[in-house]
Amino acid sequence: MKKRKIRLIPLLFSAVIAGALFYIVVRNAFSFFWGFDLLSQRHWHHILKKWQSGWVLRKPKEVFFFVSLILLLPGYFFTWFIVYVFPLKKVLLAPKTFLDNRKKAKLQEQSLAAALGPADKKLPQKTTEKKAPKPYTQKQAAIDHLRGKKVPEAMAATGSSGSDKPATVNDAAVRFDLWQKLADKLDAAKIFTLRHMQIHSFTINLLAITAESVFLLCEGPDEGSRWEVNENASPAIWKTEDGEIPSPLKKMLNAKTIFEQYFKENFITDGIPKYQNLSINCCMILDHGDITNPDVLLEFLDKENISVLKMGSCKTAALPDTDALISFISSQEASSSETNDAIAIAILDLTDV
């Protein structure tokens, strides 16, 4: 059992509190049961005279009175001990803790809601125009490579060079299985996914497409394992045990903006963006480490349309788990092949920049 260290200031403070409580309770008890005032000099003088005259304790009431007098000092020390070990600070701060927990829970809901995306989005209009099947090109081979499909050897040989090269594969092998399980769950739910890609050098571990939304899921920084978030700095940084690193959230926000802008500029029908009803949702999933100031992070996320979740060995209790997000994505309607191709081509074009 771990010994508790005695701290002087709390010890003295508890002595004062114990003295006040003990005095109030004991004085009222003596006054109620025996009509004796502990602060009355006349009452004490009366007891002394009786004792000097050979006071014999015959009645139980007199015995209890005498025993109570003897136990005054031990009783105070016992009360002092109880007050000292009592979590007084925790009790006094209970209202503030309750409000902070409510605020934290609200921010968690908002963070998860940002990852899930708008719930009232209309489904994109599906075209009824029939198109002739396209020949299997190097770009299609690159798309299939992103999906983990088998690619013809001739295509695979050229698919990684020139303007049609696939995205760089993330080499974080230690946490690879965690992301593989996420992808497998989405694949089992018939959700179209792309894996290990980049948007202007920002790595996206997993991209999931539904009829309503696109979910860009990326892992947290490799640098360090304890991060102090400072998004208000210029430039925004995360402090690690080994130094400072640029904010990965700013990079993710930039990638989200680039992705949205690409769709506005490249998929237009009659002057109207073709996929304007398709929401783009970004989520950073911390698969290890710990955020040392989660309240600051959650307050920042409350202002931005992005999310941060956790899985694996991440120790930040304030962050929501990925389970709700994966369940939500899996419950959505499957995307069309046209939408899948458009997003995959967009990823390849943005990777080549």
Q: Which domain holds residue 73?
A: 8-91
Residues 67 and 102 in one domain: no
- pLDDT, one tens digit per residue, over 29-71 is 888 888 888 778 888 888 888 777 777 777 787 788 878 888 8
- Where do runs of H (alpha helix) occur along the chain? 8-34, 41-52, 60-70, 72-85, 88-92, 94-116, 138-147, 153-158, 176-188, 248-266, 294-303, 323-331, 337-351
Confidence of residue 125 (pLDDT cuts 50, 70, 90): very low
Residues 34 and 117 in one domain: no
Residues 163 and 81 in one domain: no
Residues 142 and 288 in one domain: yes
Classify residue 241: in a domain, yes or no.
yes
Report which of residues 122 and 244 the model is more confident about: 244
Residues 80 and 181 in one domain: no
Look up the pTM and report it.
Answer: 0.56
Q: What are the Cα distances from residue 82, in Å, to 3, 15, 62, 75, 182?
A: 16, 10, 29, 11, 51
**Rounded to the nearest 5°, which phi and psi values hold at 336?**
-85, 160
Residues 214 and 226 in one domain: yes
Residues 113 and 83 in one domain: no
Classify residue 132: in a domain, yes or no.
no
Q: What is residue 252's three-state secondary structure?
A: helix
Classify residue 269: in a domain, yes or no.
yes
Confidence of residue 26 (pLDDT cuts 50, 70, 90): confident
Cα Rg, the chain, nearest whole Å: 34
Classify residue 126: in a domain, yes or no.
no
The total of structural domains in the chain comes to 2
Q: Which of 209, 194, 201, 220 is nearest to 287 (CA)?
A: 220
Report whether 124 contacts 340 (CB < 8 A): no
The answer on pLDDT for 130 being more than 50 is: no
The rounded percent of the chain whose pLDDT value lies above 70 is 75
| Residue 6 pLDDT | 63
- pLDDT, one tens digit per residue, over 194-252 is 988 889 888 999 999 998 889 999 999 989 899 999 998 989 999 999 899 999 999 99
Classify residue 130: in a domain, yes or no.
no
Lowest mean pLDDT among 29-33, 57-61, 88-92, 184-188: 88-92
Residues 68 and 158 in one domain: no
Classify residue 2: in a domain, yes or no.
no
Average pLDDT over residues 294-301: 89
Residues 162 and 240 in one domain: yes
Q: What b-and-e string marks burial along 327-349, b requiring 16 or more CB atoms within 10 Å of the CB?
A: ebbbebeebbeebbebbbbbbbe
Residues 102 and 86 in one domain: no
Q: Which of 199, 208, 251, 180 is nearest to 116 (CA)?
A: 208
Confidence of residue 161 (pLDDT cuts 50, 70, 90): very low
Lowest mean pLDDT among 1-15, 45-59, 302-316: 1-15
The answer on pLDDT for 86 being more than 60 is: yes
Report whether 239 contacts 305 (CB < 8 A): no
Tokens of 27: 């004085």
Classify residue 3: in a domain, yes or no.
no
Distance separating alpha carbons of residues 94 and 67, to the nearest angstrom: 39
Residues 190 and 308 in one domain: yes
The rounded percent of the chain whose pLDDT value lies above 90 is 21
Could you count the other beta carbons within 10 Å of the beta carbon of residue 8? 7
Residues 105 and 157 in one domain: yes
Classify residue 18: in a domain, yes or no.
yes
